[in-house]
C-alpha cells in the first residue's frame, strides 16, 4: 500500500483524526513514510462547501445597513473565496 506525506513549506505533515501533525522538518525517512504516512488521501476531500455565517447588525451607512461577523481562519484554513449575499 502506498503512503503519502504532505510537504508544507519544508515541513512534512500527516493528517490524523481531523488535524495536521508534523512528521519531520527535513527530508522524511523511509520509516516516517511507513509509520506516519497517509494511507487514504480521500480524507483530504476538498469539495466546495457552503457555510452560513450568522451576522449582526452594526448600524447604518448612508441609506443602507452594515452587518458584521467574525470568521475563524484557523477553523476554515482552506478558504479560497468568500461570497456575501
* Better-scored residue on pLDDT, 29 or 77: 29
Rounded CA gap, 31 and 2, in Å? Answer: 13
| Residue 64 covered by a domain | no
Q: Does pTM surpass 0.75?
A: no
Q: Is residue 68 part of a domain?
A: no
Q: What range does the domain containing 19 cover? A: 6-44
User: How confident is the model at residue 77, as a pLDDT?
Assistant: 67
Q: What value does the mean pLDDT take over residues 1-14?
A: 86
Q: Kindly state whether residue 14 falls inside one of the protein's structural domains.
A: yes
21-71 residue pLDDT tens = 899 988 888 888 888 888 877 777 767 778 888 888 988 888 898 888 888
User: Is the confidence at residue 2, as pLDDT, over 80?
Assistant: no
The answer to the question of residue 85 being in a domain is no
Amino acid at each position: 500500500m502506498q503512503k503519502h506525506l504532505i510537504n508544507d513549506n519544508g515541513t512534512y505533515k500527516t493528517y490524523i483524526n481531523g488535524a495536521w501533525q508534523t512528521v519531520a522538518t527535513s527530508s522524511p525517512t523511509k520509516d516516517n513514510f511507513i509509520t506516519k504516512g497517509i494511507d487514504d488521501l480521500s480524507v483530504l476531500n476538498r469539495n466546495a462547501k457552503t457555510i452560513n455565517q450568522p451576522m449582526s447588525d452594526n448600524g447604518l451607512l448612508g441609506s443602507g445597513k452594515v452587518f458584521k461577523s467574525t470568521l475563524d481562519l484557523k477553523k476554515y484554513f482552506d478558504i479560497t473565496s468568500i461570497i456575501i449575499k
